[in-house]
Amino acid sequence: MRCEVLAVGTELLLGQIVDTNSAWIGEQLAASGIDSYEHRVVGDNQTRIVAALRDLLSRADAVVVCGGLGPTQDDLTRDAIAELMGVELVRRMDLAEHIAAMFRARLRDMPENNLRQADVPAGGDAIPNPLGTAPGLRCPVGDKVVYAVPGVPYEMQEMVTDHVIPDLLRRSGESACIVSRSLKTWGTSESALAEMIADRVDAQTNPTIAFLARGIEGLVVRITAKGATEDDARALVEKEERELRSVLGELVFGVDDETMEHAVLARLQARDWTLGVAESLTGGLIGARIVNVPGASDVFRGTIGAYATDVKRSLLGVTASSVVTEDAAREMAEGARRVLGADVGIAATGVAGPTEQDGVAVGTVCFGIALPGRPVESLSWRLPGDRERIRQFSTISLLNLLRQRLDGLPS
Amino acid sequence: MRCEVLAVGTELLLGQIVDTNSAWIGEQLAASGIDSYEHRVVGDNQTRIVAALRDLLSRADAVVVCGGLGPTQDDLTRDAIAELMGVELVRRMDLAEHIAAMFRARLRDMPENNLRQADVPAGGDAIPNPLGTAPGLRCPVGDKVVYAVPGVPYEMQEMVTDHVIPDLLRRSGESACIVSRSLKTWGTSESALAEMIADRVDAQTNPTIAFLARGIEGLVVRITAKGATEDDARALVEKEERELRSVLGELVFGVDDETMEHAVLARLQARDWTLGVAESLTGGLIGARIVNVPGASDVFRGTIGAYATDVKRSLLGVTASSVVTEDAAREMAEGARRVLGADVGIAATGVAGPTEQDGVAVGTVCFGIALPGRPVESLSWRLPGDRERIRQFSTISLLNLLRQRLDGLPS
């Protein structure tokens, strides 16, 4: 089974927005064992949409078209698919009623144009859109198929997950269930991680193991298994997960959508401990990441972004003569605990650049961790990259250190 | 002149990374008056790269190929272009020496494989790469041309700006110079802004005016002019900029690469004032944005991320009974000034969701601004969107308010 992706939108060609949908769809296809050899972007031009669909279908079994389903005259995906099929568009009254109902629910008048979204090429089906007005389309073209989904990412994602992928798997005669799980890791290099799991990657055909570099979100090891039933597939994933975890150990900080801040907050919550932060080079970024997690208020007391040296002294009680030292980081972590009334205090100070500071090189960072009933720990690292990267890596590295220390405590 | 974009890399098809290069190149082409009707992504497969190039060149004058110039056996762009041209690859000793020198400068051994990057299709030219080892390529195909550039964004951008675009303009016989400037705005809706400038957009052919929605970076109005000389083009841009500014007024916060945090820090620096922040729902994000600007330390004292209610009271001196009120925001702004020893204090408190808090609805935010010698100002807004969007919009909206207040003061 081979399925290509066609994104439609002049704004994509002009670089006014970046096409993230095609990559997302590509990832879902790959995870489902469906090949995808080409992604394309064309503008809002019916002739070119039709030509692209025809060309892609000449080599593939299916195409997912993304975008061009809106209500305006620029939205031509429906018309292009009808032209490709050699049929007329038919207005479906049930879809028109759904669209009108969504407008009524939002207390807004419906422009007449919006009824265009109820048009379906004769012989095609609509794919329901619970999150927006534009239904998707599933249209046979000979023995092949074109799916049309909206360009709005969350609407598109719901349709691809719930309808397009299952339909493709049905068409491929693939009766297997597919289950996938991502192990998220932090703390080693891409090449070292690849080497650690190389044997298992090479040995496997089911489950398969893929390796994704997600930058600041860590390195991801994705396990994908096929089974006759979902339980069979899940059992294969879980067996492989145990194998991989025995190799990767504490590098794994979470699975699937869990972020580093989730991992840290869950561990603190389990001990009923609160957290305070003191940060310098990151300027508030550590706090900002922590409050990404809904419910952070049960654990997170706050952050002191002490950027100026004398604020570190007056507010956090730093006495170390240089403020980019392990001593300073230790005092900042203690200060965060005391000033914010927290059980646990963490701190980061360092030089993000672009120039060195008081003779300390760019990329030098010092971390402090103050846990209840233990001496305050401090250590320093040298991080690569530019200002932005140093700040981002400082943030996630400090949170990861805290995670590891919490895991090392007696439960 | 029509130029398409081909991105090469299996990791793009698999969604392991998102292709941002094609959008960037598309934006540069559009700004230079060069048409681009199609972007494509194919994997690391020589047959498919050649087929895509041939197909794209059948309709266009030029193609920019991005990626596949690395040193490994997966990097096939050079081979594909040679196949398309029907020529051999020739190893260029001057390029080999440049590559070896870059390795020596980094004190690293050069794997033999890296010399593949010195191979150029016979009849083609190399494009210098001052930032990396892989040179780009400019290769004639009949009366058309293929440019190859690396997938590393900053290497690619330098080559496209300095070599590809000027070469395309030369080939198009376009002797005009093109100058472009972006006016960045904040504070109105996309449709309202479009309406404000609709007359000028419709009336113009040189300069042209384009409208880009950049989400959290604001709405951008881009002016692009052609002239016989750079001075002529610049004069046209400046004339239009004056016209647009008279319509847009204080909505414009910066030009080109200037961010909102740049705008605010520059105004504070001009008055020799320092800044302190108190933030609740944003958790540190306001501080984190401010320290994005190199040299922020001249102005920025720090931020108090007072997430817990009793931290707002103990550290910032908030007495208001509810902490999501204009009174609380006012006290937080005063507290930030006092505790951080700053000339100017700003504060944000609110409910980011997902659920309401003490009867206050999700999206409610209160801002405080304390300027020297003036009563502390406070106001409240209702922002749309989810948790992340509310926090991001709170951050930039508060910074924009401060910018407008500073502009309103006697100089």
Inter-chain touch B13–A36, beta carbons under 8 Å: yes
What are the Cα distances from residue B349, in Å, to A188, B98, B162, B364, B391?
A: 38, 55, 46, 9, 10
**A157 and A187 share a domain?**
no
Q: Give buried/exposed letters for A372-388 (b at 16+ CB in 10 A, else e).
A: eeeebbbeeeebeeebe
Tell me how far apart the alpha carbons of residues B247 and B239 are, in angstroms, rounded to a whole number: 13
pLDDT band at A411 (very low <50, low <70, confident <90, very high): confident
Shortest Cα–Cα distance, A93 to chain B (Å): 30
A vs B, Cβ pairs < 8 A, gives: 225
Q: Is residue A203 pLDDT above 90, yes or no?
A: no
Q: How confident is the model at residue B113 (pLDDT cuts 50, 70, 90)?
A: confident
Query: How many other C-beta atoms can be found within 10 angstroms of the C-beta atom of residue B195?
Result: 11
Q: Which residue has better confidence, B5 or A130?
A: B5
Write out the DSSP string of B141-182: ETTEEEEEE-SSHHHHHHHIIIIIHHHHHHHTT---EEEEEE
Is there a single domain that holds both residue A54 and residue A72? Answer: yes
pLDDT average, residue stretch B8-27: 91
Smallest CA–CA separation between A23 and chain B, in Å?
A: 4
Q: What local confidence, expressed as pLDDT, does residue A161 receive?
A: 94
User: What pLDDT, on a 0 to 100 scale, did the predictor assign at position B351?
Assistant: 96
B305 token code pair: 């991320």
Q: Hey, what are B372's tokens? A: 């020297």
Q: Is the pLDDT of residue B212 over 80?
A: no
- Show residues of chain B in contact with A283, CB under 8 Å: 284, 287-288, 290-291, 296, 300, 303
Nearest to A279 by CA among A138, A394, A122, A162: A394
Residue of A nearest to B16 (CA): A212
Between the two ends of chain B, the Cα-to-Cα distance in Å is 49
Chain B nearest-CA distance from A278, in A, is 10
To the nearest whole angstrom, how far is the Cα of A327 from the nearest Cα of chain B? 20
Task: Write down the pLDDT at residue B124.
Answer: 97
Q: Which domain holds residue A385?
A: 260-408
pTM, rounded to two decimals: 0.81
Q: Quick: pLDDT tens for B258-279.
A: 999 999 999 999 999 999 999 9
Confidence at B365, pLDDT banded by 50, 70, 90: very high
Q: Decide which of A205, A230, A255 is a domain's last residue.
A: A255
Q: Does residue A162 share a domain with residue A99?
A: yes
Give B30's contacts in chain A (Cβ within 8 Å): 13-15
B16/A28 CB distance under 8 A = no
Average pLDDT (A51-56) is 98
Token output for A97: 């009623």
For A12-16, A269-273, B79-83, B153-157, which range has the lowest pLDDT when averaged over its residues? A12-16
Q: What is the CATH number of the domain that holds A126?
A: 3.40.980.10
Q: Reply yes or no on whether the pLDDT at B381 is more than 80.
A: yes
* pLDDT reported for residue A381: 93
Q: Are residues B232 and B291 in the same domain?
A: no
Task: Give yes or no for residue B248 having a pLDDT over 80.
Answer: yes
State yes or no: pLDDT of B216 exceeds 80: no
- Rounded average pLDDT over A379-389: 88
Give the confidence band of A309 by pLDDT, cuts at 50, 70, 90: very high
Domain final residue pick, A227, A255, A283:
A255
The radius of gyration computed from the CA coordinates of chain A, to the nearest angstrom, equals: 26
Q: What is the pLDDT of residue B278?
A: 98
User: Looking at A20-24, A214-218, B75-79, which range is the least confident one?
Assistant: A214-218
* Percent of all residues in chain B with a pLDDT value above 70, rounded to a whole number: 99
What are B93-109's pLDDT values in tens digits? Answer: 999 998 888 888 777 77
Q: What is the mean pLDDT of residues A313-318?
A: 97
Taking only the tens place, the pLDDT of each residue in A255-295 is 988 999 999 999 999 999 999 999 999 999 999 999 999 98
Which structure tokens are listed for B71? 């040193």
Nearest CA in chain B to A31: B14
* Helices of type H across B160-259: 165-171, 190-203, 230-248
Q: How far apart are CA A306 and CA B311, in angstroms?
A: 16
> What pLDDT is recorded for position A14?
87
Closest Cβ opposite residue B37 in set A48, A305, A310: A48
**Phi, psi (deg, nearest 5) at residue B364:** -75, 125
Q: Which residues of A394-404 are buried (b: 16+ CB within 10 A; e: fewer)?
A: bbbbbbbbbbe
Q: What is the mean pLDDT of residues A49-78?
A: 94
- A142 shares its domain with A213: no
Q: Do residues A185 and A288 share a domain?
A: no
Minimum-distance CB partner of A283 among B15, B287, B304? B287
Query: For residue A173, what pLDDT band results from cuts at 50, 70 and 90?
Result: confident
Nearest CA in chain B to A222: B16
Whether the CB-CB separation of A296 and A253 falls below 8 Å is answered with: no
pLDDT at B341: 97
pLDDT value at residue B402 = 98
In whole angstroms, give the CA distance from residue B263 to residue B286: 14
Provide the CATH number for the domain around residue B248.
3.30.70.2860
Six-digit token pair at A394? 């400082």
State whether B272 and B155 are in the same domain. Answer: no
Which residues in chain A are contacts of B279 at CB distance < 8 A? 284
B32, B165: one domain: yes
Mean pLDDT of B216-230: 85
User: Is residue A140 pLDDT above 90, yes or no?
Assistant: yes
Choose among B15, B286, B391: nearest Cβ to A26: B15
> Given pLDDT bands bounded at 50, 70 and 90, which one contains residue A108?
confident
B301–A311 C-beta distance less than 8 A: yes
Nearest neighbour of A13 by CB, restricted to B26, B52, B55: B26
State whether A31 and A136 are in the same domain: yes
Burial of B278 (0-12, 13-18, 19+ CB in 10 A): buried
pLDDT at residue A212 greater than cutoff 80: no
pLDDT over 80 at A215, yes or no: no
Whether residue B308 is found in the same domain as residue B226 = no
Among A199-203, B33-37, B261-265, B307-311, where is mean pLDDT lowest? A199-203
Q: Indicate whether A111 pLDDT > 90.
A: no
Q: Are A283 and B287 in contact (CB under 8 A)?
A: yes
CB contact under 8 Å between A30 and B38, yes or no, is no
Nearest CA in chain A to B17: A23
Same domain? For A207 and A129 the reply is: no
Task: Identify whether B128 is preceded by a cis peptide bond (ω within 30 of 0).
Answer: no
Instruction: Show the tokens assigned to B333.
Output: 């702004």
Per-residue model confidence as pLDDT tens digits over B302-329 = 999 999 999 999 999 999 999 999 999 9
Contact call for A283 and B304, based on CB within 8 A: no
Specify the number of domains making up chain A.
3
Do B310 and B366 lie in one domain? The reply is yes
Give the count of beta carbons closer than 10 Å to the beta carbon of residue B111: 11
Token pair recorded at residue B185: 């705005």
When pLDDT is averaged across residues A6-28 and rounded to a whole number, the result is 92
- CATH number, position A326: 3.90.950.20
Q: Which pLDDT score is estimated for A384?
A: 80
Question: Which of A139, A171, A203 is a domain's end point?
Answer: A171
